[in-house]
Chains A and B, each alone.
Chain A
Amino acid sequence: MARDPIDTSTIHGRFPAFEPAGRAGASFKPQHLEAIAGDPGSIGFLEVHAENYMGAGGPPHAALAKIRAMLPVSLHGVCMSIGGLNPLDQTHLDRFAGLVERYEPFLVSEHLAWSTHDDVFYNDLLPLPYTDGTLARVCEHIDRVQEAIGRPMLLENPSTYVLFAQSTWTETDFLREIVRRTGCGLLLDINNVFVSATNHGFSATDYLADFPLAHVGEIHLAGHDEQEDDEGAPLLIDSHDRPVADPVWTLYERVIRQCGPITTLVEWDADVPEWPILRSEAAAAERILGAHRQRTGRSMKSHALHS
């Protein structure tokens, strides 16, 4: 199904409107700008990390404005620290909301993780215990984000390497309760599910069976690295530096078969390849989406997250 960038209307009149729901997209990397501009129809949408565009001006904004004029963009925050106990940083929240206003992303997402504590920024998605206390705090933070951006956000399930002795909630129950309390949607990262399942010795299939799939507005796929834990068993690392692994494709295909097309992003953030390679990964997701598009009629449903 070819995208038709002409026969569309606009939201605020600043950018063309598109219908990216149920399409496949890729991480946007500035080095791919020219290749994408030469053939924007080759990808359903592009996703950017919000923090890379929080500078005042310069080439990053010029590049984002250019791709936004050609394609739908989803905004993926990495540093909001929603999973931390400290209140959200107002400056960061303002910058984030400013990007939502300026670039009109069709999806806005953040992580169930923390990265800043007492002003120190650790530049990683760090884990949190799943307790009544952290649940309340995460929900407060999501309420605040959604209030700031004036629309629902998607929350991404993490990949983790450790567990917390204090946790009293399963991750799926924790996410389900967050959705119930805040009205946010979920970003289902299937690579994260596979990584965490391998690392913690549970079944990825069981996890997905218990995942609130009805609230998923976007899926992430990515590649992972393999190391060893203290006992010599595989310890998977969410590295985003290679193609999506076969078992992750298998899980993805199952989710799409069950749910119908869900907007899907292929992430690639380190050792980034030439555009055709990343585009072909997205094309592989697009084929799976296409195979289930006619059958289910979910193609236009996207958790009511369009602004």
Chain B
Amino acid sequence: MRSTPEGVAPLQQPFEEVFGQVILEPDRPEPDFVIGPHGKAAAKRFNVYRNNVTHSLVTALAEIFPATALILGERNFRMIARDFLRANPPRSRLVFEYGHGLPDHLAAFEPIRHLAYLPDVARLERAWLDAYHAADQAPLWPGEISAIPPEALAKTRFTPHPAMRLVRSDYAIHTIFVAHRGGPMPHRIDAGVAENVLVTRPALQVEVRRVEPSQAVFLLALGDGAPLQEAVEWAAKGDPCFDLAAAIGLLIESGAFSACQPATHDED
């Protein structure tokens, strides 16, 4: 059996390694082992692969971050996304898992420093897609909470629903997100208003709602496994007017949790 055609040296390195070293770098020549037919050049031919890889991933990022792309403008977004993917190519084969590093990349990109809210808008968009693909699970049934004896309530713990995400920001990311993803566009947006956003998917629709800072603290504490009493204490620390009834209502209505475990006797 022939190992290589006559006059051709066998490959010294895995061919994919050589491909990978140059495919994201437009200024480097194509690997010397790729050829055109009948002695033709392979530069433009190899560039088809370069273009496919870059174009498909930039397009994927534009689809994952549509509001971010709208705010930046298509051309700027694609340029930034291209730089991002050359430095951070995907490590997952599932394109919808790509781009978790884009918000930090935006934050570090000097020319858009003035868009201080943008990294958090991108974080919210990424959280939205995580919620979209999260596991299906029925949200907590209100009857489960009302069935808990009052004395056990304080030590009850809650299991976060797989789709639940909380994005806290010093900027008006909920307003900006909604306005750039098909929602109403206000006459003026004051980007400097801090907004905390709860993302849930109780059934098939992803829901995005603004929550009070103390509610965010409360939900995060519960999500981390704190018992109810402790979560309330955390929330009230920052906001003496923290409204527990409203927070419980939010917890149920949003589908942020999927189950609750009343305290066992051991814990009492």
Do residues A165 and B5 form an inter-chain contact, with CB atoms below 8 A?
yes
If the complex has contacts A162-B35, A229-B40, are A199 and B45 also in contact, measured as CB distance less than 8 A?
yes
Instruction: Please name the residue on chain B nearest to A52 by beta carbon.
Output: B96
Produce 1/0 per residue, A47-85, CB < 8 A to B: 000011011111111100000000000000001010011
* 8 A Cβ contacts from B159-181 to A: 162-163
Instruction: Please name the residue on chain A nearest to B92 by beta carbon.
Output: A121
Is B132 among interface residues, defined by CB-CB distance under 8 A? yes
Q: How far is the CB of A232 from chain B (nearest CB, A)?
A: 10
User: What is the CA–CA distance of A161 and B23 in the complex, to the nearest angstrom?
Assistant: 14
Is B3 among interface residues, defined by CB-CB distance under 8 A? yes
Produce 1/0 per residue, A118-146, CB < 8 A to B: 11111110111101110000000000000
Which residues from chain A contact B92 at a C-beta distance below 8 Å?
121
Do residues A56 and B135 form an inter-chain contact, with CB atoms below 8 A?
yes
Q: Which of A55, A121, A167 contacts B93 (CB 8 A)?
A: A121
Produce 1/0 per residue, B138-160, CB < 8 A to A: 00000000000000000000000
If the complex has contacts A117-B16, A120-B20, A120-B90, are A58 and B40 also in contact, measured as CB distance less than 8 A?
no
Do residues A235 and B48 form an inter-chain contact, with CB atoms below 8 A?
yes
Do residues A124 and B8 form an inter-chain contact, with CB atoms below 8 A?
no
Produce 1/0 per residue, A153-182, CB < 8 A to B: 000000001111111100000000000000
* 8 A Cβ contacts from B81-98 to A: 89-96
User: What is the CA–CA distance of A123 and B41 in the complex, to the nearest angstrom?
Assistant: 25
Which residues from chain A contact B89 at a C-beta distance below 8 Å?
120-122
If the complex has contacts A117-B14, A161-B49, A230-B44, are A200 and B37 also in contact, measured as CB distance less than 8 A?
yes
Is B56 among interface residues, defined by CB-CB distance under 8 A? yes
Produce 1/0 per residue, B3-29, CB < 8 A to A: 111001011001111011001000000
Which residues from chain B contact A57 at a C-beta distance below 8 Å?
133-137, 162
Produce 1/0 per residue, B182-226, CB < 8 A to A: 000000000000000000010010000000000000000000000
User: What is the CA–CA distance of A124 and B49 in the complex, to the nearest angstrom?
Assistant: 7
Is B244 among interface residues, defined by CB-CB distance under 8 A? no
Do residues B3 and A131 form an inter-chain contact, with CB atoms below 8 A?
yes
Q: Which of A59, A126, A128 contacts B132 (CB 8 A)?
A: A59
User: What is the CA–CA distance of A165 and B20 in the complex, to the nearest angstrom?
Assistant: 18
Is A13 among interface residues, defined by CB-CB distance under 8 A? no
User: What is the CA–CA distance of A23 and B41 in the complex, to the nearest angstrom?
Assistant: 41
Is A114 among interface residues, defined by CB-CB distance under 8 A? yes
Is B76 among interface residues, defined by CB-CB distance under 8 A? no
User: What is the CA–CA distance of A228 and B2 in the complex, to the nearest angstrom?
Assistant: 34
Do residues A118 and B17 form an inter-chain contact, with CB atoms below 8 A?
yes
Is B60 among interface residues, defined by CB-CB distance under 8 A? yes
Q: How far is the CB of B91 from chain A (nearest CB, A)?
A: 5
Is B108 among interface residues, defined by CB-CB distance under 8 A? no
Do residues B15 and A167 form an inter-chain contact, with CB atoms below 8 A?
no
6 nearest A-B pairs in the assembled complex, by CB-CB distance? A55-B133, A57-B136, A230-B41, A117-B16, A56-B135, A79-B93
18 interchain pairs, CB-CB under 8 A: A58-B204, A117-B17, A120-B20, A121-B90, A122-B89, A123-B56, A123-B90, A124-B52, A124-B53, A128-B15, A129-B33, A132-B1, A164-B15, A166-B8, A200-B36, A227-B48, A229-B44, A231-B41
Beyond contacts A57-B133, A89-B93, A161-B48: 15 other A-B pairs, Cβ-Cβ < 8 A, are A56-B136, A57-B134, A58-B134, A61-B136, A92-B93, A120-B20, A122-B53, A126-B19, A126-B49, A127-B49, A129-B15, A129-B33, A166-B4, A168-B3, A229-B45
Which residues of B pack against A, CB within 8 Å? 1-5, 8, 10-11, 14-17, 19-20, 23, 30, 32-38, 40-46, 48-49, 52-53, 56-57, 60, 89-96, 131-137, 162-163, 201, 204
